[in-house]
Structure 1
Amino acid sequence: MLLSYLASGQAVPYGNNPKAGHYATVRGVKLYYETYGVGAPLLLVHGNGGTSQDFQKNISYFAQRYHVVALDSRAHGKSTDPADSLSFEMMADDCAALLTHLHLDSAYVLGWSDGGITALVLALRHPEKVKRLAATGANLWPDSTALMPELWHQMQRGYQEGKNQTFTDPKRKNDWKVFLLDWQEPHISLAALANIKAPAFIIAGDQDVIRPEHTLAIYQSLPRAWLWILPNSSHATLHEHADAFNRKVDAFFRAKQISPVTH
């Protein structure tokens, strides 16, 4: 599939590729996903307001060695969501249900931002589904101790502007629901991370919107983990440093052993 695009000289339309796109109806929602490559399953989960297209700089690399499943999370992209609310628990359960639908016992998981949060929640709620997880730009709770001041103030303004509005347009209503997800959630304790059985790779940029001390605390609270703070990088680590990012995450997934985190 990728080869046919390469041969034609066309760019692969990730996130809107009829040759790779599929729908699965699970848990009352119609999830859109695209598949690429052959090998061990690798689930890609994008961030808030994004789509599977966000992995356009990563899919071709991983498809050389993995069976990539790039998901549009519920209420995002081509995936539907009739519910009035949204939670990371819902999205993690969707991921588990999608893997079951695809007859995949477990998968490697790579999540960016909200996708990284979803990956952690998936490992907590469905440990049997996660071989290893990589999470870049994830946070455990929504406040100024986890998020950098600029982002937190921006979110506060957004909430004040929208809280008294009545959204009748379906798109604006959905956008508000997606915004509220990050305003109200997640609520994961550092202590809970000790229950994650899968090895984890915690990643952030040195200029990320997640406070560096928060990223460090996530890493230190996991039983087995790697930590990588990318220099000269913002929240978009997988875009700004795609080649290094792809190689490093692949090396983590293929490492023979992940040592326990020392304190």
Structure 2
Amino acid sequence: MKALKLLSVVLLVLCAISASAQQKETIKLDTVTYGKNAAVGKYAEIRGMKMYYEVYGKGEPLLIIHGNGGSIKDFRYQIPYFAKKYQVILADSRAQGKSNNDKDTLSYEMLSDDLNALLDKLNIKNANVIGWSDGGIEGLLLAMRNPDKVKMLAVTGANLWPDSTAVYPYIQDYILKQNVFGADSVKRMKNPTRKIKDQLLLLHLLSYEPHIKTGDLHKIACPTLVIGGDHDVIQAEHTMLIAKNIPKSYLWILPNSGHSTPIYYRDTFNQVIGDFFSKPYRKIENWDVLK
């Protein structure tokens, strides 16, 4: 039980660790409806698992992807906004939320392929996509591996690799230490539960993945909005590198912001992404830089 509590705490801390120390706003969490909505919640049997998902609104499909250790409820501030115009699709990723897992390893490619399978299950040919943190990584991979599925993409707090050139060293060091401690704790257990195994897999994912080459980003054909906080756990230079290597990209670095852009800057976050989805991509070259 001690190891389970530790792993749970680590994942929760990592989800919120980059929130700016200057932020004084009290957030009222809606943990009752989103992610636990019996009226719309369903399970899709795909790729050997039961993936829990919810759909809100009508219109053009919009897939929203949560981060490591998160769930559908993390987008409580995005769902009502985007459901006014879009068919908003959200799922608990494998081994997270209410979705199960039948594997002994996890990779971002696996999670991305799960989402692709869910879109197929729902007969959705393509969708706009929003991804936060690990969900941003999965969004990038979805657009690379299935370019026909992603119409427009917005990612915030994503990284291409797990070392200190992408993630701030103190974050990387903390994650690696907790991964080693958690692995040692689980090894001493006689019969660790599936939940404990999954939490360790998620921590391992944070520690040692992804491994995306900048050249791979050239495969992303859709317009992409690359987002980061200027005090994100992902270094701003790395966020800029991602944007630079996507052919049709815009870059948005939020000032005085950490990793939790969809929460602390929810109104601006929603509006800017909504505007991005509603307009054609503008190619900027030569003297267009003055406009």
Greater relative contact order (Cα 8 A, min sep 6): structure 1 or 2? 2
Q: Which amino acid aligns with 1:152?
A: Q
2:175 matched to 1:151?
Answer: no
Aligned to 1:199: 223
1:224·1:261 contact (CA, 8 Å) conserved in 2? Answer: no
2:168·2:233 contact (CA, 8 Å) conserved in 1? Answer: yes
How do residues 111-150 of structure 1 correspond to structure 2 at under 5 angstroms?
Answer: 111-150=131-170
2:289 matched to 1:259?
Answer: no
Q: What do residues 196-255 of structure 1 show as CA deviations (whole Å, max 9, x unaligned)?
A: 111111001111000111001001111001111111111000100100000000111111
Distance 1:66 1:176, change over 3 A: same
Identity of aligned residues (%): 46
Q: Which of these residues, 94, 119, 123, is aligned with residue 103 of structure 1?
A: 123
Question: Which runs of 5 or more residues in structure 1 are unaligned?
Answer: 1-9
Q: Which of these residues, 196, 199, 204, is aligned with residue 172 of structure 1?
A: 196
Distance 1:177 1:260, change over 3 A: farther
2:130·2:139 contact (CA, 8 Å) conserved in 1? Answer: yes
Deviation at 1:257, TM superposition (A): 2.4
Deviation at 1:261, TM superposition (A): 8.1
2:223·2:281 contact (CA, 8 Å) conserved in 1? Answer: no
TM-score with structure 1 setting the length: 0.93
What is the distance in 1 between the residues matched to 2:69 and 2:182?
A: 16
1:111·1:118 contact (CA, 8 Å) conserved in 2? Answer: yes
Q: Which amino acid aligns with 2:166?
A: A
Q: Which of these residues, 234, 237, 243, is aligned with residue 258 of structure 2?
A: 234
Q: What do residues 120-169 of structure 1 show as CA deviations (whole Å, max 9, x unaligned)?
A: 00001111110011100000001111001221111121122123332513
Q: Which of these residues, 242, 256, 281, is aligned with residue 218 of structure 1?
A: 242
1:15·1:52 contact (CA, 8 Å) conserved in 2? Answer: yes
TM-score with structure 2 setting the length: 0.84
Q: Which amino acid aligns with 1:247?
A: Q
Q: Which of these residues, 64, 68, 73, is aligned with residue 93 of structure 2?
A: 73
Q: What do residues 28-72 of structure 1 show as CA deviations (whole Å, max 9, x unaligned)?
A: 111001100001000010000000110001100000000000110
2:51 matched to 1:31?
Answer: yes
1:223·1:261 contact (CA, 8 Å) conserved in 2? Answer: no
2:172·2:207 contact (CA, 8 Å) conserved in 1? Answer: no
Count of residues paired in the alignment: 254
What is the distance in 1 between the residues matched to 2:114 and 2:284?
A: 29
SS in 2 for 1:163: helix
